[in-house]
Structure 1
Amino acid sequence: MTEAIKKLQEERTGLFADLYRGKTPRRVPIRGGLTTEAAIEYAGMDIKETQWHSEKMIDVMRYAAERIPTDVAPVRPHTLRNPYKYQLLGGKTIVMNEEGYAQHPEIHGLEPGEYPQFIEDPYKCMLETILPRLYDGLNQSPVQNALNLAKAYKMHSDQAAQGIAQAAQVNEEFGFATAPPGGFTEAPYDFMADFIRSFSGTSKDIRRHPRELLAACEAVTPIMINQGLGPVRTVDARCFLPLHMAPFLNMKQFEKFYWPTFKKTIEALTDAGMGVDLFVEQDWTRYLDFLKELPGRIVMRFEFGDPKQIKEKLGDRHIIAGLYPIGLLKTESKEKCIDKAKELLDICAPGGGFIFDLDKDILSMSSANIDNLIAVQEYVREHSAY
């Protein structure tokens, strides 16, 4: 790493460090980027094939890093949904389609009559009942189950190490901001709605089995907290939570089923010293006052909402991100795309506490005009100094 790249990396890392500590950074930091699939396509490579050859991802990451102006690497390591482990385990939870995109089918591993078993010991129930239903490779003889799990874990560990090494190499080559290793977890209700009971399952249970669903959320909360605690406990080490289900609940349901265990999870993470990053999916306008109650200085990346209202409600306490619609990048001129960035800067940047980011990651080259993305983020980089 040259002295110039080292200085650039220190400056970029400092932008986020200042934000997390309530200081106004030198300028607005930028995070907008691509999913793995979009980045592979952007680099002119085959989406499906490249995901099966993760050693090629370093070239994908470099290609995007050379072109897209951000302060963090615009492509994350390909570790979360790498296809090898799902194949080795016979997974039904994440399935690659013909084009190479990872899909999350509507599937569940727990039946309503099994709630008592889950509530009594959720970890045991997941090991003995749920996982064998979701993964055919864990529904064999005890010996074969152990072999399949060992092979999948070895593959996952090897590829995670490779992805982390690739990310570190790209950060060093291009001077991107760095951070200590963080964590990943979910709100307990969201966890129940993912693979335990599914979207449709929890939507039925909230009316047919409300006591059981509520108790299950309480029972799984310690696991969600433990899952989110990373090896480093500082505000620079962020725990990421994607928030799924709240917009599909009415206010009474949200207050009873979603909010208490979600808040408890966030409080435990911040009490442990960790920083928190939320992806606030869909429209949380009804719940902004609840989000304001959360402790710490949380990064809240919004998909939808009124920037003025969000800034007014949350800007003095938390860090606002997102809100830039990727649909504009596909349909509008470069000038209009930049005008939207100006609008967001005017509303959200004053006083600090703002990260420029897209409302969601770009999934494919058909989702956005990358030239517009480059122009927008170049504008933000050059015109967002405090």
Structure 2
Amino acid sequence: MSEKMQQLYNERLRRYQAAIALEMPDRIPISAGSNYFAEVYAGHSNQEFIYDVNKWTEADVKFVNDFPEVDAFRSGRFWGPLHDAVGFNMYKLPGRDLSPRTQFQFVEGERMKADEYDLLINDPVTFLFERFLPRTLNDFKEPGSIRANMALIKGSIASGMMGGFMRNRSIYLQNELGMPNSMGGVFLAPFDYLADGLRGLRGVMLDVRRQPDKILEACDALIPDIVNAGLAIADPLRRSPIFLPLHRGAFPFLSPKQFDELYWPSLKKTMLMFIEAGYTIRAYLEGDWGPNWHHFRELPKGKVLCDIDVQGDIFMAKEELGGYQCIAGGMPDSMLILGTPAEVKERVKLLCETVGKDGGFIINGGCGIPYDARPENFRAMIDAVLEYGRYSDTFDFEIQMNPNPPAGWQPPKRRVATPWEVKLQELGGVKGDEELIRKNWEMLEHMAFNWLFSWMW
């Protein structure tokens, strides 16, 4: 990285980090999730940026060059060939199932039956192989067949390729464009694993009434695997927060009482485990979280960046979360898509003078900038932040990073399908350093389970 890019990278990242930590940077940061706005702005169809990784770089370069004031850039991506390799049926993709210029769509479904909670809780590997994957991966409908075995091989190869693409993109953004990722790694709320990919909305709503105790038991059982899978792909230097898209906790999916009893306890435990490991979290509060966002005051201050969706009241969020957690949002999607630059400027001015006062605020749309936002409105938003969102002319831009977890921290017990003791017995013992062989065996076992677990959403 050149000295110029290093300085630019540090300034952007530190401004972002400071806001999350409830400090006062030189100005309000601009760290909006693009929701593919950058790719559409670069002239690509939705199909192109889901199926052609070269388009990612083209879009990144154009976006950063045209909007250099942005402080951190969303890193999440779909890669269509990974889905195709296994016949993943949880999403419809543009150009394959939908028009090439249509946003991808989630497909609701019951991929876990109501009587399978005990299997999920007590033997998740068997559950995944024998129940979930045949229902979720179309090419794995007949486990043991040549096509099913090939699907697992292709899916593993494609996952490795995807990881390489994402790593290379992150390095390019940092070294060539001086642009930090706004997030690194991802996890879901335990309840959302059940309500999204496993039971589906209809199934989990029935379970809320019929077997709430099983929901609680399953949520707690999922926590160690959620944490280990999230840590495996998080930023090892702890520079950027881990992404947490929150779904079914929004009103009116659950009543406040149901949220307090079924959703929040396991989510809080999970978030605290990441925070205790030295990470911050960027939580996308999708939908109306107004009745529930006060719970984030129960977590350590300055550790969670809460994106407030357009259904939420950003001003009320500031009242309830200000001084506890950083919030992002405030720009209505309708204004960014249909409004005028003058309207955008007035809205940003209001936000800077109210929600942005005293720090702890990042300008954003409703959990992101919509992909069909007008570019002139996005530019107006940026210019207005520069005009009205300044705090100080002096600020220390030394970034915060740490490759080591806090002293004494230990990860949860990692899942394996075949314990080392079983493998060792099959080998009849080893002639040399057992520990050298064991740690690599278990590393690959952990990685394999994380790969299975990754298809659950």
SS of residue in 2 equivalent to 1:142:
coil
Percent identical across equivalent pairs? 27
1:134-283 aligned within 5 A: 134-142=136-144, 144=146, 145-177=148-180, 182-230=184-232, 232=235, 236-246=239-249, 247=251, 248-283=253-288
The answer to whether the 8 A contact 2:39-2:59 is kept is: yes
Whole-angstrom distance in 2 between the partners of 1:334 and 1:136:
47
Instruction: Label 1:77 to 1:270 Cα distance change in 2 as closer, same or farther (>3 A).
Output: closer
State yes or no: 1:61 paired with 2:57: no
1:135 Cα deviation from its structure 2 partner: 0.4
SS of residue in 2 equivalent to 1:364:
coil
Greater shift in the superposed pair: 194-203 or 125-134: 125-134
Return the match for 2:326 from 319, 325, 336.
Answer: 319
State yes or no: 1:95 paired with 2:92: yes
Instruction: Label 1:294 to 1:257 Cα distance change in 2 as closer, same or farther (>3 A).
Output: same
1:75 Cα deviation from its structure 2 partner: 5.5
**Match of 1:284, as an amino acid?**
W
State yes or no: 1:84 paired with 2:81: yes
1:140 Cα deviation from its structure 2 partner: 3.0
Whole-angstrom distance in 1 between the partners of 2:92 and 2:116:
26
Q: Which residue number corresponds to residue 115 of structure 1? A: 117
The answer to whether the 8 A contact 2:191-2:262 is kept is: yes
1:21 Cα deviation from its structure 2 partner: 3.9
1:178 Cα deviation from its structure 2 partner: 5.3
**Match of 2:278, as an amino acid?**
G
**Match of 2:383, as an amino acid?**
E
Where structure 1 has 5 or more consecutive residues not aligned to the other structure, the ranges are none
1:59-106 Cα deviation digits (max 9, x unpaired): 12212222235434546363xx21111111011112213223322111
Instruction: Label 1:183 to 1:364 Cα distance change in 2 as closer, same or farther (>3 A).
Output: closer
Q: What TM-score, normalized by structure 1, do the two folds share?
A: 0.91
Instruction: Label 1:146 to 1:242 Cα distance change in 2 as closer, same or farther (>3 A).
Output: same
The answer to whether the 8 A contact 2:173-2:180 is kept is: no
The answer to whether the 8 A contact 2:29-2:362 is kept is: yes
SS of residue in 2 equivalent to 1:184:
coil
**Match of 1:163, as an amino acid?**
M
Computed over aligned residues only, the root mean square deviation of the Cα atoms, in angstroms, reads 2.2
1:193 Cα deviation from its structure 2 partner: 0.7
Whole-angstrom distance in 1 between the partners of 2:140 and 2:72:
36
The answer to whether the 8 A contact 1:77-1:164 is kept is: no
The answer to whether the 8 A contact 1:319-1:353 is kept is: yes
Where structure 2 has 5 or more consecutive residues not aligned to the other structure, the ranges are 392-457
The answer to whether the 8 A contact 1:338-1:376 is kept is: yes
State yes or no: 1:345 paired with 2:352: yes
1:2 Cα deviation from its structure 2 partner: 4.7
SS of residue in 1 equivalent to 2:9:
helix
Q: Which has the higher helix share?
A: 1
SS of residue in 1 equivalent to 2:354:
helix
1:287-326 aligned within 5 A: 287-296=292-301, 297-303=303-309, 304-326=311-333
1:11 Cα deviation from its structure 2 partner: 1.2
Whole-angstrom distance in 1 between the partners of 2:314 and 2:369:
21
**Match of 2:298, as an amino acid?**
E
Whole-angstrom distance in 1 between the partners of 2:66 and 2:352:
22
The answer to whether the 8 A contact 1:20-1:236 is kept is: no
SS of residue in 2 equivalent to 1:320:
strand
Whole-angstrom distance in 2 between the partners of 1:159 and 1:94:
17
The answer to whether the 8 A contact 2:73-2:179 is kept is: no
1:323 Cα deviation from its structure 2 partner: 2.6
The answer to whether the 8 A contact 2:19-2:360 is kept is: yes
Structure with max Cα Rg: 2
SS of residue in 1 equivalent to 2:115:
helix
Greater shift in the superposed pair: 191-200 or 322-331: 322-331
The answer to whether the 8 A contact 2:27-2:390 is kept is: yes
The answer to whether the 8 A contact 1:239-1:276 is kept is: yes
1:14-72 Cα deviation digits (max 9, x unpaired): 21232344421111110124223x43332223332443221232112212222235434
Number of equivalenced pairs:
380
The answer to whether the 8 A contact 1:315-1:353 is kept is: yes
Instruction: Label 1:234 to 1:63 Cα distance change in 2 as closer, same or farther (>3 A).
Output: closer
Whole-angstrom distance in 2 between the partners of 1:173 and 1:233:
20
